[in-house]
Structure 1
Amino acid sequence: MELSDDTALRAELEAGLRTLGLAPTLADPLLAYLALLVRWNKTYNLTAVRDPREMVVRHLLDSLAMVPHVDGLATLADLGTGPGLPGIPLAIALPGLHVTLVESNGKKARFLREAVRQLKLTNADVAESRIEAVDRPGAFDAITARALATLPDILAVGGHLPKADGGRLLAMKGVNPVDEIAALPAGWRLDTVTPLKVPGLDAERHLVVVARA
């Protein structure tokens, strides 16, 4: 059975979208992305999460919980995006946002290019590169990373990418990373820590926003 025909899966996704204040019509492109991910995952091992229902919560809705904090930005670099998380769900939900998916792993980058092509995401591009080697200093309103590294480590490799005036890091974290915040490098300061409620996820999530000092 196609994922798009799985009524329980669709209902769960649509309910989660409503809870997040997003249009249930986003379910179609999101399920198309999920179907592609499930198919490629069998061969390429892109994510350890294998159950599509678990993917809806832990990949799609978890990524989309960021939408209110990204809405209004023009450009975002998703560092170490893996199979496109959170970048592809954000690009689907926010057509006015241009997302650069940064991934050094060749298999994952191939999947990302295919996903961007098949989903017709004209507002997304793939940079197959190590983060520190992306030669686009100051090119982005913000950078984001999900389960990549500590805040100081993310800024060490990707801190050149946000613009000099108002550039930010939007980091998806589990528990509030107090020790990481205390270790922020010079030139960066904590802006906000916002608890996120992800529909269906029984775990702590926080969005940590770090701004240029």
Structure 2
Amino acid sequence: MAQRSMTPSVKPSPQALASILEKSGVRANAQQVHQLWIYHRWLRKHNVELNLTRVHNFDNMVRKLYLDSILPGLMVSLPSPLMDLGTGPGMPGIPLKIFNPDLEVVLAESRQHRVRFLEDVCAALGLSGVSIEGRRIGPSYDRPVRGVITRAVESMAETMERIEGCLEKGGLLIFMKGPHCDDELDRAVRRFEGRFALKEDRHYVIPGTPHRRRLVVFVRQSERAALVRQAASASGRHKRMASFDNAAFKRLQKALTPRGIRKEGLCLVSGAKVVRDVLASRPNLVQAWISVAGGPPPPSACGEHVTWLELDKNLFETLDLFGTGHPLLSVQVPPILYWTPENGLGPGCTLFVPFQDPENVGAVLRTAAAFGVTAVVLLKESAHPFHPKAVRASAGAAFRLRLFFGPSVADLPTTLPMIALSQDGCPLHEAIFPETFGLLAGLEGPGLPEPWRRQAVAIPMVPGVESLNAATATAVALYEWRRRAVNPARG
């Protein structure tokens, strides 16, 4: 059931409008009352025809529409020009303009019948410094504004994507939300880290009503795409790709396969978090920022050596194997030396990986980084650690570990101080972890060669279960080693 206003209904009039505002803490001068009353009359006149608002009671219209639109201007210093994104019949933009005459306002509304209403009502109100954008605002819209305010129902993240082309660096993005938007806010903060920073999160109540509201304000940290594109083009660091026959695109496409990675020395990094991590940890290896045409520009974390590649949608989707939609990185593969038994093992645990599934390789690299292995030797059977699936599964750990290529598992001498994992071995809790040792898991399916099975350890499981996933089994063994290293008394 809809909640009612806390005050009784009164006969509509300019005086009643001013009285409600004043009792709510907003004192309006005669000009403001006059303009707001004209606006109210236009809404009432055209509402049935155009379906402008579902709020009809006079008290509620003043409080839930006009007062609610005015309040952000009392809580935040409004930047100008300010875009009202998804303004509908002009809220909060028109009431904000009436109460902030020097504010330059852009009313953005894609529904054409409402655009015509906005044009007519702004003329009737005699408003100057107001422009109307009668189209949907997307990332390619690049008219600069210093602020964006919206009371639309789409998620914060969707709005952030839409206005990246127009909101200037240092500009404010102001959300008028309901009280229960914590999950939505958390997702936006994580996803747009480095591009937007949370500035304010204020809870309030519309005076004279039980209705709770929330004003969430972000500040833009990154430059507009148009400025970045202009600078990158001037320095030759911006390129557009529209053809599958483009030689540079073909080179990127090769980075989707192990053979191409080895030949080109490139890998592709996808996923917002992994991209941020690689930019932070190995910026010297990043060669290109790859976005769909009209997508977000390279962040400031990209050095001047990084090229911005804008790809037509079909080209970008070919490279974006996981459908993230987020820009990719083209990264130089770090040099990987070859390990031989003559090199021996360093202190701690050296992990030997024969996994043929790149996702298993990535998962075990992530685990290896978490438990602090000394080095990882990728045996001849192993998938490439910089295969896109491996990089994504490793959450970027592949760039933080000491990696080596090694011989086939069959060519490892059994004289190495090795702990091998096999269901034929003794229980894991009986294993003794030397100060220097190797940990060897079996291949997916066939497991370990026979010589290694005779000196292996096993992870206890319930009867009837054939085996654990190879990466999972390795994670259990590494956990047991790390647990004993941290708490030797419990070994």
1:70 CA displacement: 4.7
CA contact (8 A) 1:17 1:24 kept: no
Greater gyration radius: 2
How many residues are treated as equivalent by the alignment? 206
Structure 1 equivalent of residue 60 of structure 2 = 54
SS of the residue 2:97 aligns to: helix
Partner in structure 1 of residue 219 of structure 2: 211
* Aligned positions of 1:39-78 closer than 5 A: 39-71=45-77, 73-78=79-84
Q: CA deviation at 1:179?
A: 0.9
Cross-structure match for 2:178: 174
User: Separation in 2 of the partners of 1:59 and 1:169?
Assistant: 20
Distance 1:72-1:54 versus aligned 2 partners, 3 A rule:
closer
The answer to whether the 8 A contact 1:65-1:197 is kept is no
CA RMSD of aligned residues (A): 2.0
Q: Is the 8 A contact 2:174 2:218 kept in 1?
A: yes
Distance apart, 1:28 and its partner CA? 1.6
**1:20 aligned residue:** 25
Aligned pairs (5 A) from 1:58-137: 58-71=64-77, 73-132=79-138, 135-137=141-143
- 2:145 corresponding residue in structure 1: 140
One-letter amino acid of the counterpart of residue 39, structure 1: K
Aligned to 1:190: 198
CA deviation string 1:139-188 (max 9, x = no partner): 11110110331111111112322112x11110001105211121113211
The 8 Å contact of residues 189 and 210 in structure 1, kept in 2 or not, is answered as yes
Specify whether residues 162 and 188 from structure 1 end up closer, same or farther in structure 2 by C-alpha distance, changes over 3 A only: same
- Which whole-Å CA distance do the structure 2 matches of 1:92 and 1:80 have between them? 18
What is the aligned counterpart of 2:15 among 10, 15, 20? 10
Identify the range of structure 1 (115-124 vs 189-198) with the bigger mean alpha-carbon deviation. 189-198
Q: Aligned to 1:66, what secondary structure does the other structure show? A: helix
1:153 alignment partner in structure 2: 158
Asked whether the equivalents of residues 81 and 103 of structure 2 are also in contact (C-alpha less than 8 Å), the reply is yes
Q: Is the 8 A contact 2:79 2:172 kept in 1?
A: no
Is the 2:200–2:218 Cα contact (8 Å) retained in structure 1?
yes
What per-residue deviation string (whole Å, max 9, x for no partner) do you get for residues 73-113 of structure 1?
Answer: 22100000000010000011101101100000011111000
Task: Output the amino acid matched with 1:206.
Answer: R
**Unaligned ranges ≥5, structure 1:** none
Which structure would you say has the larger RCO, counting Cα contacts within 8 Å and 6 or more residues apart?
A: 1
Partner SS state of residue 117, structure 1 = helix
Query: In 1, distance between residues paired with 2:17 and 2:123?
Result: 26
After TM superposition, the score normalised by the length of structure 1 is: 0.88
Identity of aligned residues (%): 30
More divergent stretch after superposition (143-152 vs 62-71):
62-71
Question: How far 1:206 sits from its partner (Å)?
Answer: 1.0
* Aligned-pair CA distance for 1:123: 1.9
How much does 1:134 deviate? Answer: 6.8
Deviation for aligned residue 1:18: 5.5
In structure 2, distance between residues paired with 1:100 and 1:122: 11
- Alpha-carbon contact 2:139-2:164 (below 8 Å) kept: no
Q: Are 1:14 and 1:27, in contact at CA under 8 Å, matched by a contact in 2?
A: no
Q: Matches of 1:76 and 1:156 in 2, distance apart?
A: 17
SS in 2 for 1:122: coil
Q: 1:176 to 1:209 in 2, by over 3 A?
A: farther
8 Å CA contact retained: 1:20, 1:65: no
Asked if 2 retains the 8 angstrom alpha-carbon contact of 1:176 and 1:193, the reply is no
Which amino acid in structure 2 is aligned with residue 128 of structure 1?
Answer: G
